[in-house]
Amino acid sequence: MFQAFLIKYAEIAIKGKNRPIFEDALVKQLRRALKPVDGSFHVYKTQGRVHVDTEPGFDYDGAVAAMQKVFGITAICPVLVLEDEGFDVLKQQVCDYLRETYPEQDHTFKVNARRARKNYPIESMEINAKMGEAILEAFPQMRVDVKDPEIMLHIEIREKIYVYSLSIPGAGGMPTGTGGKAMLLLSGGIDSPVAGYMIAKRGVVLNAVYFHAPPYTSERAKQKVVDLARIVSDYAGEIYLHVVNFTEIQKYIYEKCPHDELTIIMRRYMMRIAERIALEHDCLALVTGESIGQVASQTMASLLVTNEVCETLPVFRPLIGFDKEQIVRVSKDIGAFETSILPFEDCCTIWVAKHPVTKPSAKVIRRHEEYLKENIDEMVETAVSGREVIKVG
């Protein structure tokens, strides 16, 4: 039934000269999202609006689902595009539209007409009144409510006539590409894909790094991370995933350092390496899925000790105040959960001590990292330069 979509976005964030940047990014991301969908789509902006025109026979459900993954959109309005065949025909077409769209037919409504083409013979106010009358006549159960109608029926008279009333919720946030770039530490768990999603939602392009420890972690564990990156990339756009072989470093830490400090020292090396790769790729921040108190390495004291190794970049932890249930809810909403709970070991679970420190002291940890002095720089070098880069999305 619908031939076009009107894309609504939050106006507040895009005042002034940022507006074209925001709109251009939105147009670009909509084109990217619609590319794999069956049909032909013309995405463009006009004064203060973004439109998607279609050709008959397109995959409506696929198009809506794809657009619902584009950040920066508050609502997607499917639009009926009609030729001007006179007002009587229009009345008929609008009633047919309502009959099909709202089969229950007992709603409050308001007509909101806009006559952009001034040679149309009826003024906006009169269109509102006459169309309202026609609707009340055709649907005796419907009532007018001008303050808070359930159906806001928009009728725009241009060269053609545009009718819309449905409003499908969008993903919110800011269009990808309007917020710089960040490096996500992506593991195979539930949290980090959600963290990446949340930062990407603010318009940030993501790169990702995964620390792989073959043969202790399997190819399937790595594939799971690639799959998670792909799920996030459905929203966030293309992601370069850096797969760093962490085995030698982990073994070396295991060999040289107290076992109750393994996780924290490992995490410090992950952060150091992530920061290096991030800086090479113009990322402006690191992103992790940490949340206060979730595990020993995420107590306030542990976060402090992990954080101190990042010399230049801020570390964003969007889940810091979230409970696990809240994280799981978002994970399910974005379609990552089923993949996240697949049972492949990630590198941390193999090396965890029975009683990891929960209140590490930075001073002590720094002193114990001295035990690694002989080989660690070279090992980090080898891990960074030997990394595999996988383009996802």
Contact residues toward ligand ATP (CB under 6 A) are 185-187, 189-192, 209-211, 270, 288-290, 294-295, 297-298, 346-348
**C-alpha Rg value of the chain to the nearest Å:** 27
Is residue 196 a contact residue for Mg ion (CB under 5 A)? no
CB of 210 to Mg ion, least distance (A): 11
In contact, 348 and 221? CB cutoff 8 Å: no
- Cα 186 to Cα 175: distance, rounded to the nearest angstrom: 22
- What is the C-alpha to C-alpha distance for residues 52 and 49, in angstroms, rounded to an integer? 10
- Residue 52 Cβ, how far from ligand ATP at the closest point, in Å? 35
CB of 28 to ligand ATP, least distance (A): 28
With respect to ligand ATP, which residue has the nearer C-beta, 6 or 309?
309
Residues comprising the chain, all counted: 393
356 binds Mg ion (CB under 5 A): no
Work out how close the CB of 256 gets to ligand ATP at its nearest, in angstroms, rounded to a whole number: 20
Decide whether 109 or 246 has the Cβ nearer to ligand ATP.
246
| 298 touching Mg ion, by CB under 5 A | no
Residue 327 interaction partner, one of ligand ATP, Mg ion, none, beta carbon < 5-8 Å per kind: none
Tell the smallest beta-carbon distance from residue 219 to ligand ATP (Å).
14
187 is a site residue for Mg ion (CB under 5 A): yes
Token pair belonging to 356: 């990891």
Q: State which residue, 227 or 290, has the beta carbon closest to ligand ATP.
A: 290
Q: Looking at beta carbons only, is 344 or 371 nearer to Mg ion? A: 344
For ligand ATP, the closer CB: 112 or 349: 349
Interface size with Mg ion, residues (CB under 5 A): 2
The item of ligand ATP, Mg ion, none sharing an interface with residue 353, based on CB under 5 to 8 Å by kind, is none
Asked if 286 and 183 touch (Cβ cutoff 8 Å), the reply is yes
* CA-CA-CA-CA dihedral for 68, 71, 77, 78, to nearest 10: -50
CA triplet 226, 231, 237: central angle to 5 degrees? 95
CB neighbours of 92 closer than 8 A, spacing ≥ 6?
none
SS3 state of residue 209: strand
Can you tell me the distance from the alpha carbon of 134 to that of 121, in angstroms, rounded to the nearest whole number? Answer: 18
DSSP labels for 300-344? HHHHHHHHTT-SSS-EE-TTTT--HHHHHHHHHHTT-HHHHTS-P
Supply the minimum distance, in Å, between the C-beta of residue 115 and Mg ion: 58
Q: Is the Cα torsion angle 211, 284, 177, 323 positive or negative in sign?
A: positive
Question: Which CB atom, from 171 or from 186, has the smaller least distance to ligand ATP?
Answer: 186
Residue 189 interacts with Mg ion (CB under 5 A): yes or no: yes
Q: How far is the CB of 191 from Mg ion (least distance, A)?
A: 7
Q: Which residue is nearest to Mg ion (CB)?
A: 189
Residue nearest to ligand ATP (CB): 189
* Residue numbers at the binding site for Mg ion (CB under 5 A): 187, 189
